[in-house]
Amino acid sequence: MANINISYIFRFEDGSENTFKLHLDDNSAEMIDPKHHEGPEWTQLDYHKCPHCPLDDGQHQYCPAALSLVDCVDASASLMSYDQVSLEVRVDKKVITTDSTVQKGLSSLIGLLLSSSGCPYLGFFKPMGRQHLPLASEKDTVFRAVGMYLLAQYYLMESGATPDLTLKGLKTIYEKLQIVNLHLANRLRDATETDSSVNAVILLDLFSKAVPMVIEDKLEDIHGWFSHYHSALFTDILNE
């Protein structure tokens, strides 16, 4: 399988631009040859370490999630969240262009970087990173996250495990993600004098809070999309 090549190109009103390139392994959805194997103080594992982090300080010097953001933080150090940007995202042969803000563009990029960073808790989101959707809305995120989780349950069932169709595990994963986001934001506050990277993580965190709430509401916001599956035709298809 070929690698997945993703580029984020930020073009600013003053004519300058920043480009970020990522390469993902198509089979594992993991980042290929991450650029940084060491980083500044704020990337040290014991610096605002998540209380639920399973990594041992003695074996891991750096937080993999923080390390994945070094270039992004450095490049956005002088930017403000509200700065306007023309954003171009290339995912292999697909190209998406839009006018946006630095905060929204960075939030989308950071979400991709984190999913492939090697953080144990963020690893659950590797399938979404592999099928990256730039600037996803809240409903996009809910649909993709639930679909990803249920497909994971299918694979677990095929391997003999008991699948979780109640989405309890997905809710817990997102609750753990909120802790990661909180401590990442604390790291970033110390890493930069502007608000762009911090607010990008905060925007991601708003989505992470939305998913458990939508699950609590039994996914009613998108239930109507599936009305055809309640039809007699679908029952007939199952019975063929």
Distance CA(63)–CA(36), nearest Å, equals 12
What pLDDT does residue 76 have? 77
What pLDDT does residue 35 have? 64
**C-beta neighbour count of 195 within 10 angstroms:** 18
Paired strand residues for 11: 17, 86
Q: How many domains does the chain have?
A: 1
CA dihedral of residues 175, 114, 106, 168 (deg, nearest 10) = -20
C-alpha closest to that of 53 among 120, 116, 113: 120
Q: What is the mean pLDDT of each run of 10 residues along the chain (240 residues)?
A: 87 91 90 76 93 95 92 79 91 93 89 92 95 92 96 98 97 94 86 70 73 85 94 95
Distance CA(179)–CA(185), nearest Å, equals 10
> Could you tell me the sign of the dihedral formed by the alpha carbons of 118, 121, 123, 125, in that order?
negative
Q: Which domain holds residue 39?
A: 4-239
Distance CA(173)–CA(196), nearest Å, equals 26
What pLDDT does residue 196 have? 63
**C-beta neighbour count of 78 within 10 angstroms:** 11
